Structures are given as structure tokens and as C-alpha cells.
Amino acid sequence: MVDVIRVGREIRRADVASDSAVREHLGQLTKPVGSLGRLEDVARRLALIYGDPPPTLARRCVLTFAADHGVAAERVSAYGAEVTGQMCRVAGAGRAAINVMAGACAAAVFVVDVGVNAAEPLPGVEHRRVRNGTRNLAVEPAIDGADVARALAVGYDAVVTRLDDYDVFAVGELGIGNSTSAAAVTAALLGVEPHSVCGRGTGIDDQAFERKLRIVADALRRMPHTPTVAQVLGMVGGLELCAITGATVACARHRRAVVTDGFIATAGVLAGVCANRAIADYVFASHMSTEPGHALQLAHIGVAPLFELGMRLGEGTGAVLALPILDAAARLLREMATFGDAGVSQRSGGVGPL
């Protein structure tokens, strides 16, 4: 089994030395300089990851990792824990939001069961269950060290086994109670207070919100003084969050862009970046969630969201919408004409390269 944390520590930055050459290439494309705004930044970052020109990103997929959480027993979600498995069945049948949205974005969807609390394998879902849900982080460490390592490897392998078929990976999650786990993970990794990272998740009432805040605060108090990333994931993590960390490390290791989703998925991505800052070079934000901690996570990673549509569903639904945008950016460098080869007049009296 791959030691994901060790692999993660050895990852190097994207090819930042090529930055000025890529900027020059962008400046030669048949359009006013800078006129595609942030799309040009996306193109530039893709070129540093994949080389210039990057490949088209037509072969794209979403990995939606699912798991249950012992903390759901504390009634921190508007839904019962059984909904995780039920929603996995819907997604396995191709009828969840992520499936239908992926259809619009020409992306394949793979739902990976890392730890759903169900009796049997779920139809249409990849069965990689490490254990049937975590323990309750409100009363004990959620996952032991060996299972953290296994869940990290599940995510890592989910990418590695698809490297021949897909050029870019979006990550998402499914798991009732996991916004509490993601809040605790984020607070521990960033050293911030529970109120900065606790939101209303699926739509909880005031009482449930107070419980959530208290549970996160209590869990943070039980945390070792300067915990490792693996310790944070073990104390308060989720199996699907570990898998997302593993997928992030795999993308960086194999020089693929990884597109994060909302607050919960980004907690897993953040854990990877906290293990090794260089991993941030491979991460792209998609949307800005309504969950309050998401902006903190993205700021720490150093990526800005491409759009803000008030989404808070998870499953990878924000990330999947970003995939055509990344593909469009990649194609600017791969397919667009330059002023020179197209015989287009450069600007009159322009300063510097067009």
C-alpha cells in the first residue's frame, strides 16, 4: 500500500521556472493582451503543471468519495445517517445532482465508497470500504492510524488507476455529518476558532448549530498540541476526507490538476497542502460555497474561486462546473492562433508585446 503522506512530502512544485515563457506565449495569441482575465491565469497554471501547451482537458472525471460519520449520532445534520447510503444508490444509478451536472460538462463520475455504513456493497458504487463509518469524534478519535493510511491510499489509487483515461480530476464527497468533521479538520489545520468554520451544512436549526460548534470546540481541545496532518485526520476526520487528501496527493505526484469543490471536499485538499505546500500548485478552486470556512481554506491554499453561485450541495457539483472552464483555458495555449502565424495586425502604437 502506498504511503501517501510520505509521497506527499516529496512532491515538487509545478514548473514555475517556465512562467515567463508561458506568459509570452499568452501574449502572442490573437486577442488583446490580458483580455481573457483570470482564464489566462488558469491557462498559465495549467501550462506549469502539464507543460506548454497543456493537453486539452476533454477527458475529465469527478471522483465522489462517500463515507459515514459517527458524529451524525449527535444530530448535527438535518438528515439521518441512512441518507449517505441512500444517496450513494441514487448517484450509483446516475440520478443524483452530480451525475446530471457531469452530463452537461462531459465528465465521467465515479462514486467511491470509502466507508459507508451499509450492510452490503452499493450498486453502481466502487466498493473500497475501509470500515463502516467513523467512530463518533464527539467522544473518541474518529479513525485509527492504520485506517487513515488505508483511506488515504483509496483516494490515491482512485486517481492512479485512471491516469491513462483522464487528464484532470475533480473531487467531491457524500456523507451525512461530514461538515462537522470538515469544520474540525479545518480548524485544527489552520488554527482557527470553531465559529470561523462551522456553518449550517444541509440546513440545520439553531440548536443543532450550537451542538456542532460545541462538538468542534471539544474535539479541538482533545487534539495534540502540534498535530500532524495524519493525526488531525485520525482525531476528527472522515474516511472520505482522507481519500480526497490521497487523491490530491496523487494528482500532484502525477502532474494533473485537481479541482476542489466546496467546504467539505476542500478540507481534504487542504490536508494535502498542509502536508506539503508544493501541492497547492496543482489545486484549482471551482466555486465559493456559502459555508463560512470555505474562503479561509481557499485563501490558505492560495487559490481563488472561479464562480460564486450560492451552492452548498457537495458531491463535486461545484467542481464539475469548473471542468469546461479549465479545458477552455488549456485550449487557448494548445489551439489558438498567434498574431504571427495568423497574419493579424498587432495593435497600433502598442507598448510591449501584444
* Residues of the shown chain interacting with its own copies in the complex, contacts defined by CB under 8 A: 29-39, 56-58, 75, 78-80, 82-83, 86-87, 89-90, 93, 95-97, 99-101, 103-106, 202-203, 205, 290, 306-313, 317, 320-321, 324-325, 327-328, 330-332, 334-337, 342-345, 347-350
Distance in Å from the first CA to the final CA of the chain = 51
Query: Is 315 a residue of the active site?
Result: yes
How far is Cα 139 from Cα 135, in angstroms, rounded to an integer? 8
Report, in Å, the least distance between residue 34 CB and its own copies: 8
CB of 305 to its own copies, least distance (A): 9
**Nearer CB in complex with its own copies: 86/136:** 86
CB of 29 to its own copies, least distance (A): 7
Q: Residue 264 to residues 49, 63, 183, 300, 342: CA-CA distances in angstroms?
A: 25, 14, 8, 15, 46
Smaller CB distance to its own copies: residue 230 or 298? 298
Instruction: Say how far apart CA 310 and CA 173 lie, in whole Å.
Output: 18
DSSP string, 133-176: S---TTTS-SS-HHHHHHHHHHHHHHHHTTTTT-SEEEEEEE-T
State which residue, 65 or 156, has the beta carbon closest to its own copies.
65
SS3 303: coil
Alpha-carbon distances, residue 265 vs 140, 153, 249, 339 (angstroms): 23, 16, 14, 41
In the bound state with its own copies, the residue whose beta carbon lies nearer, of 190 and 354, is 354
Measured between alpha carbons, how far is 163 from 157 in angstroms, rounded to an integer?
A: 10
Residue 96 or 215 having the CB closest to its own copies = 96
Q: Please state the closest distance from residue 1 (CB atom) to its own copies, in A.
A: 34
The three grid cell numbers given for residue 235, joined into one nine-digit string: 482525531
Q: Of 40, 126, 291, 315, which residue is the catalytic one? A: 315
Residue 279 and residue 15: Cα distance in Å, rounded?
12
Nearer to its own copies, 299 or 344 (CB): 344
Q: Which residue type is seen at 283? A: V
Minimal distance, residue 342 CB to its own copies, in Å:
5
* Amino acid (one-letter) located at 154: V
Q: Which is nearer to its own copies, 1 or 304 (CB)?
A: 304
Alpha-carbon distance 58 to 326, whole Å? Answer: 10
Report yes or no: 157 and 262 within 8 Å, Cβ to Cβ. Answer: no
CB 211 within 8 A of CB 74: yes
Nearest approach, Cβ of 37 to its own copies (angstroms)?
3
Residue 163, amino acid = L
Determine contact, residues 284/100, Cβ cutoff 8 Å. no
What Rg do the C-alpha atoms of the chain give, in angstroms?
A: 20
Q: Which helix (H) or strand (E) holds 60?
A: strand 60-67
The continuous run of DSSP H or E covering 250 comes out as helix 239-253
CB of 53 to its own copies, least distance (A): 11
**What amino acid positions are annotated as catalytic residues?**
315
